[in-house]
């Protein structure tokens, strides 16, 4: 809620909004004015937003839901924020929009602000105070590939395919392509996306080389030594690109895996939660300059999104059907509600007819999903190093310092405390959040059984056979030296 909102501002805002709803008559006008009066009489502790009108970008994926919900349920306006949501053509356009100021912020890949900070690709000082969700991706293969994989898959006593499906069953298919002198192409959405790292992780766990990057020599293709050629395709275009035969599979967020299944183009084989349980996915990406210039706006934006994620997960996903109908609208995801519901309402369908309970396929709030953990940031940085996007070994301290420069839990904690103080959310909604140090306990829920301890990123990297980090030497020698966060 807001304070010191002048009557002029109230009536001006109400008039702008009345223009869009004039057909509902005077009752609606009166309701709008009363709502603005309630906003004006609010909380004195948190300052008025320095910038009211915001434009936020997103990609047409179901995990943009917090933005749509915050808009449609009035959570942005409760904070005095008048938000325009704009779909972007691809992740590069979205990133550039935030960096150049065309967008005030965005639904962003978790790897994007980290890569920007260290200068891989676009160099910019981006931060995030908020993680939007966990999980929500899958890997899909074309029908002909699936038919070749199936004979190699173990089944249970009922003849049902056992999950998770490893890439072991894909190896003979790739080997056959290589014998014929053909490339095996797969898609992912962006070089520093979770999807790129997840499909690489899945392939490499079965001994399939997904290729290295070598930016130090100008090679940013990611195809060095690759047995599978990974290329970038915007999420909504994945099914059509596979149908055209350009790629034989892909890793993408929903609804574009279920879309391929329902159109008879391919079969989802594994979710990212099966590759790494409750992995971080999208974040709210902002420039550091925006946060410094508009600190109250940043906190209020975080508050609105927290209320939206809470609504999405509360009462065991009870609101997901309503969310599905909302996301189906053309200005948001624009896919059929049935397709969105296949992964949004607690199930996920693999092969046609093989629908399995997956209440955590999309996690928006529970498990402290929104906390910007340093450890999450460090995992993404380890993958950048593993695949060569970071071309040299770095100390453990370097990983931590970069994470701390981008992930901003102090902003998140202030937003949480203010929501508790305003009795909009409860302290019980945030177990241990306010005392968090930013590091999750070591995580072992990976498909290859490896353990990730964010306090020891180089020890984690040393576990991998397919990696550019073979033979890490004296990586902690820089602990006492100033840390240069760039890649130069």
pTM: 0.89
Give 137-280's CATH code, choosing from 3.40.190.10, 3.40.50.11810, 3.30.365.10, 2.60.40.10.
3.40.190.10
Residue 484 has what pLDDT? 66
- Is residue 45 very low, low, confident or very high in pLDDT (cuts 50, 70, 90)? confident
- Is residue 24 very low, low, confident or very high in pLDDT (cuts 50, 70, 90)? very low
Q: Which of 289, 345, 346, 305 is nearest to 67 (CA)?
A: 305
Flag whether pLDDT at 215 surpasses 60.
yes
Query: Is the pLDDT higher at 253 or at 31?
Result: 253
Cα 237 from Cα 265, distance rounded (Å): 13
Flag whether pLDDT at 343 surpasses 80.
yes
Q: What angle do CA 425, 369, 58 make, to 5 degrees?
A: 95
Indicate where the chain has its CATH 3.40.190.10 domain(s): 7-135+281-345+362-461, 137-280
Q: Where does 319-373 have alpha helices with state H?
A: 320-327, 337-344
Residue 203 has what pLDDT? 98
Flag whether pLDDT at 198 surpasses 60.
yes
- Is residue 475 very low, low, confident or very high in pLDDT (cuts 50, 70, 90)? very low
Residue 434 has what pLDDT? 86
Residue 486 has what pLDDT? 66
Query: Is the pLDDT higher at 42 or at 225?
Result: 225
Q: Which fold does the domain 7-135+281-345+362-461 belong to in CATH?
A: D-Maltodextrin-Binding Protein; domain 2 (3.40.190)
Over residues 134-159, the mean pLDDT reads 96
Over residues 229-256, the mean pLDDT reads 98
What number of other Cβ atoms are within 10 A of residue 273's Cβ? Answer: 22
Cα 476 from Cα 478, distance rounded (Å): 5
Flag whether pLDDT at 416 surpasses 70.
yes
Cα 155 from Cα 162, distance rounded (Å): 5
Cα 186 from Cα 250, distance rounded (Å): 5
Flag whether pLDDT at 167 surpasses 80.
yes
Q: Which of 127, 215, 107, 198 is nearest to 383 (CA)?
A: 198
Instruction: Tell me the pLDDT of the chain averaged across its residues.
Output: 90
Percent pLDDT > 90 in the chain is 85
Q: Is residue 115 a contact partner of residue 190, using CB atoms and an 8 Å limit?
A: no
Identify the weakest region by mean pLDDT among 119-128, 347-356, 466-475. 466-475
Residue 485 has what pLDDT? 67
Q: What is the DSSP secondary structure assignment for residue 263, as one 8-state letter?
A: T
- Is residue 477 very low, low, confident or very high in pLDDT (cuts 50, 70, 90)? very low
What number of other Cβ atoms are within 10 A of residue 23's Cβ? Answer: 6
Residue 432 has what pLDDT? 87
Cα 347 from Cα 425, distance rounded (Å): 28
Which residue is associated with the tokens 């399995």?
356
Flag whether pLDDT at 310 surpasses 70.
yes
Q: Which of 385, 306, 380, 317 is nearest to 347 (CA)?
A: 317
Flag whether pLDDT at 476 surpasses 70.
no
In this predicted model, what pLDDT tens digit does every residue of 374-387 receive, in sequence order? 999 999 999 999 99
Flag whether pLDDT at 64 surpasses 90.
yes
Cα 412 from Cα 401, distance rounded (Å): 19
Cα 430 from Cα 160, distance rounded (Å): 39
Over residues 43-70, the mean pLDDT reads 93
- Is residue 10 very low, low, confident or very high in pLDDT (cuts 50, 70, 90)? very low
Backbone angles phi, psi at 221, to 5 degrees: -75, -30
């Amino acid at each position: 809620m807001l304070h010191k909102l002048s009557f002029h501002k109230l009536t001006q805002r109400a008039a702008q909004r009345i223009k869009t709803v004039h057909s509902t008559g005077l009752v609606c006008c009166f309701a709008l004015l009363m709502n603005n009066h309630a906003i004006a009489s609010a909380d004195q502790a948190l300052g008025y937003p320095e910038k009211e009108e915001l434009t936020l970008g997103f990609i047409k994926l179901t995990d943009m839901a917090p933005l749509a919900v915050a808009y449609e349920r009035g959570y942005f306006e409760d904070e005095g924020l008048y938000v325009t949501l704009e779909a972007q053509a691809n992740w590069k356009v979205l990133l550039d929009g935030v960096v150049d100021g065309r967008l005030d912020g965005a639904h962003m890949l978790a790897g994007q602000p980290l890569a920007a900070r260290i200068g891989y690709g676009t160099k910019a000082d981006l931060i995030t105070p908020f993680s939007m969700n966990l999980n929500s991706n899958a890997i899909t293969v074309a029908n002909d590939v699936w038919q070749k994989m199936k004979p190699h898959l173990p089944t249970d006593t009922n003849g049902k395919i056992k999950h998770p499906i490893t890439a072991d069953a894909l190896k003979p298919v790739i080997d056959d392509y290589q014998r014929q002198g053909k490339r095996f192409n797969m898609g992912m959405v962006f070089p520093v996306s979770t999807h790129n790292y997840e499909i690489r992780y899945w392939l490499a766990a079965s001994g399939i080389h997904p290729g290295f990057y070598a930016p130090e020599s100008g090679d940013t293709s990611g195809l060095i030594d690759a047995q599978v050629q990974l290329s970038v395709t915007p999420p909504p275009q994945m099914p059509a690109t596979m149908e055209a035969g350009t790629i034989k599979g892909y890793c993408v967020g929903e609804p574009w895996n279920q879309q391929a299944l329902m159109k008879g183009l391919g079969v989802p084989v594994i979710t990212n939660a099966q590759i790494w349980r409750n992995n971080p996915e999208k974040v709210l990406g902002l420039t550091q300059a925006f946060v410094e210039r508009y600190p109250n706006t940043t906190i209020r934006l975080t508050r609105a999104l927290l209320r939206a994620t809470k609504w999405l997960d509360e009462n065991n996903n009870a609101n997901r059907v309503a969310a599905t109908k909302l996301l189906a609208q053309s200005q948001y995801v624009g896919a059929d509600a049935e397709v969105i519901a296949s992964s949004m309402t607690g199930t996920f369908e693999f092969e046609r007819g093989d629908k399995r309970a997956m209440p955590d396929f999309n996690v928006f709030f529970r498990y402290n999903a929104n906390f910007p953990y340093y450890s999450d940031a460090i995992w993404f940085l380890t993958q950048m190093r593993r695949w060569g996007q970071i071309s040299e070994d770095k100390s453990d301290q370097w990983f931590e310092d970069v994470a701390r420069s981008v992930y901003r839990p102090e902003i998140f904690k202030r937003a949480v405390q203010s929501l508790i103080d305003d009795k909009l959310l409860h302290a019980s909604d945030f177990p241990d959040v306010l005392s968090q140090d930013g590091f999750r306990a070591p995580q072992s829920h990976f498909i290859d059984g490896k353990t990730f301890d964010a306090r020891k990123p180089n020890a984690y990297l040393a576990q991998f056979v397919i990696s550019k980090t073979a033979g890490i030497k004296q990586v902690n020698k820089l602990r006492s030296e100033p840390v240069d966060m760039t890649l130069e």
